[in-house]
Each structure stands twice: as C-alpha cells, then as structure tokens.
Amino acid sequence: MKTKVLPLLLLVSLSMVSCLSYDADEFDGKIMPRVASYTTGVTNDWIYFNLRTGEVFNRIAPNRDIKEGQQKDRLDWDIAFCGYHIRTNSGTSGNGMGGAIDLGYGDYDRWHTVDQLPMSQQWVIDNDTTVRITYSQTDWYRYVNTHGLDPKENPWFDPNNGPQRTLTSANPLLEKNMFLSGPPMTYTPSYHVYAVRTADGKHYFKLQIISWYNQHTEIDDTGGQMSYYCDELKQ
C-alpha cells in the first residue's frame, strides 16, 4: 500500500510547491568571469579588473595576461580577486594609489557620490603579512620537492588544520568581506559595503560581495565564482 500512496503524496506536494510564488528581486549585479582559486592548480590565481575602462585580465585562465609579480609595476588595474581574497593597486600589490575603506553593513544604494565618503577614515593599503591563501596541490608538492621534504609527513591536507596555506599580498580590510565556518566549509558574506580607490587615485567605486556562488545558476559546483555589486561613485 505504501508504494501506491507515496507517489500520490509526492504529486500533491509538488502541486503545492508549484502554486507558491516568490517576489525576490532578480540579481542585477556582476559575476566573476570564472572560478579563480587554488582549484585551478595555481595558488595565486588572480583576476584583475581595470574599473576605469572595464578591461579584465586573466579572464580566461590564470596568469594569461598578468603573471604573478608583474602586477606590481602596472597601473592598468585597480582591483583583483582570488576567490574571496582581494587586492587593490596599492602597497605591496601595486605601485598605484589604490586602497579601501569600510562603509559599514548593509545599504549599498545609500552611497552615490564621492562627497559622501567619510573624510576621517584612513584608507587601508595592501600588505603581504596578513592574508593567507590556500596552496594549490600542484604548487604545494612542488614546494615539498624543492625543499627536500617528505610528502607523507607534509601532506597538502591535514585533517586537523585543513589544506596548506601561504601568505600573499592582498588588502587586509577587504579580507573581511567573507566569513568562513565548518566543516563542512561554508562561505558567508559580511554584506559590508566598501569604497575602493583606483590606481590613479582619481576614481572611487563602491563594492559589496553578495554571494560565494554565481547568482545566475543553482547552487552546485559554482562556489568561488562570486556574485557582487561594484559601481563608480559620482564626483
């Protein structure tokens, strides 16, 4: 009898679900062009954006346009992403006049003009002593071989500490855009709004990370292809 009742219950349940309506607004922000993280086999897999022109570097593959280290002497990028880690063209990441400030939790639409930015807040520039990113397995075992370490005693993944990590150059303030917890690992945005200054020091953009996932697809294996808002503040 149960085998006959179960399909009927499922049919009723599906009918009820189909009658529900949702009023959620469709996401109209931006999506990362691809997943950029250690999963690509490259530890420092950064996608660079020129916010002033819309140009994107390393859109298709890691290090295709800007190799790690080359970004330092270039002024044609303003912000870069490796997973949820973020660089500005400032400090140890670049010779530009970039940086970031925290505008607080919540209302992205509140911020329209540069005049609204708090004058007393100090702009935070990038350093290479704060942010740690996950080694790719390829780079980790290359490191192990180069330093003559035993891979069995130095595995890429430790059950107690997770995967191996290394310091990188990034913005310590923008690192706070995401909260990590688990296992299982979950990524929860802080929903803070940040102001980012461009490499030439003349333009300002507001930034808010919305999701670790691509908002235009169902949550499956798109983790790391973040959804976000980013718009220029009027002068």
Q: What is the pLDDT of residues 179-206, one digit of tens each?
A: 998 878 889 999 999 999 999 999 999 9
| Higher local confidence (pLDDT), 105 or 2 | 105
Of 140, 167, 194, the position where a domain reaches its end is 167
Same domain for 67 and 114, yes or no, is: yes
The answer to whether residue 11 scores a pLDDT higher than 80 is no
User: 90 Cβ partners below 8 Å, 6+ apart?
Assistant: 96, 97, 98, 99, 125, 126, 171, 197
Q: Which residue has the higher pLDDT, 9 or 106?
A: 106
pTM above 0.85, yes or no: yes
CA 230 to chain centre: 13
Percentage of the chain modeled with pLDDT above 90: 78
Per the structure, the count of domains in the chain is 2
Query: What's the mean pLDDT in 30-52?
Result: 96
Query: Cα–Cα distance between 91 and 114 in angstroms, integer?
Result: 22
* More confident call, 217 vs 193: 193
Query: Which domain, by its residues, includes 92?
Result: 27-129+169-232
